[in-house]
Structure 1
């Protein structure tokens, strides 16, 4: 059954708001971006923007979450007992690095982090809405441990340990010091090394 025209118009307005917000956050930063600017850039009324997103924090968190979900969506993330452990983990690491080295995500994360540094409460509100997008690795580690292939009773700690290694090369230097994105060769080196170090500690004998 065809979708009613008003619904299609609403979808187009929502898409226009998101596109405009992404451009404004990237160009002007979080603090300088207002719902008025987003509305003007999207060609809609301010009321329309608020009808879709009740606050700037919600709008920004939605954009980050949407980018994460689009980048990390993959049917191969689930643990499989019939596949080599290293190959599975390396795939998970490389998918994470695709997000961390996405130029749009870096720009938006930089804008968001700059805005929440003076306010821990705002950080909790904003990034709490994003959700734990590292949960995929936690689930994978838990399944691999249950299968006797990893030694850990704390999958959350193991996941944080892995991502800490990755972000030290492929996120924080770009966010805090403006370093360039890693080359393909550098990404591969980080992914391979982090995977091997993780398995050297957590893999079952």
Structure 2
């Protein structure tokens, strides 16, 4: 990869400074002056790249979504067991939740949205879009007669919550350490047991 141009290096330093300032002091308190000082650039340089704090926040969110999108999610397959497929999905999700950069960005984003319904709505909407993959998978499994009748988005939110209760919220809100690979596997298998134990339709059973 070729080295970044000076202007790109300055832009990156501004973004990293903004993330650090938002994390340390909160969105409302952070000023463009503080961001410029932390990035070791002039205030004018900051404004040349980002006209406002909201633009910087939008850049940060874009990086958050890009980080979340780095793990590919496989499509539903009729010839593979639900447990194997769902484990693959959850393992991909867990890799994102175990990414310290992703969690740091999420921590900043959540802090910045607390006092702004507009920013919060953007966050929630984009998060919902990201989790649509699970909803699509559940819908396909239902159409194949392998998952009980339930609103797919509701079921997808349930299984996400089973992971985030251990591998997202404690780290973001309480600064707990990332889960070890062994703990990640335990959380995934437990989520599979709970989800499939209730929703899976077995060939020798009729739906409840």
> What is the TM-score with the length of structure 2 in the denominator?
0.76
Evaluate the alpha carbon distance shift between residue 50 and residue 132 of structure 1 in structure 2; reply closer, same or farther with a 3 A threshold: farther
> 1:79 pairs with 72, 76, 82, which one?
76
Task: Give structure 2 stretches of 5+ with no counterpart.
Answer: 203-208
Q: Does 1:132 align with 2:108?
A: no
Q: Is the 8 A contact 2:72 2:92 kept in 1?
A: no
The reply to whether residue 201 of structure 1 matches residue 201 of structure 2 is no
Q: Which runs of 5+ in 1 are unaligned?
A: 1-7
Correspondence for 1:176: 173
Structure of higher RCO (CA pairs closer than 8 Å, 6+ residues apart): 1
Mean alpha-carbon deviation: is it higher for 77-86 or for 87-96?
77-86
Aligned residue among 162, 186, 191 for 1:189: 186
Q: TM-score, normalised to structure 1's length?
A: 0.77
What does 1:25-104 align with in structure 2 at a 5 Å threshold?
A: 25-42=22-39, 44=41, 46=43, 49-50=46-47, 52-104=49-101
1:61-90 deviation line (CA, Å, top 9, x unaligned): 432342333343344422222333212211
Give the alignment partner of residue 167 of structure 1, picking from 164, 168, 173: 164
In structure 2, C-alpha distance between the alignment counterparts of 1:152 and 1:53, rounded to whole Å = 48
Deviations 1:120-166 (A, max 9, x none): 34422454456621111112112222222222341100111111111
Task: Report the RMSD for the aligned CA atoms in angstroms.
Answer: 3.0
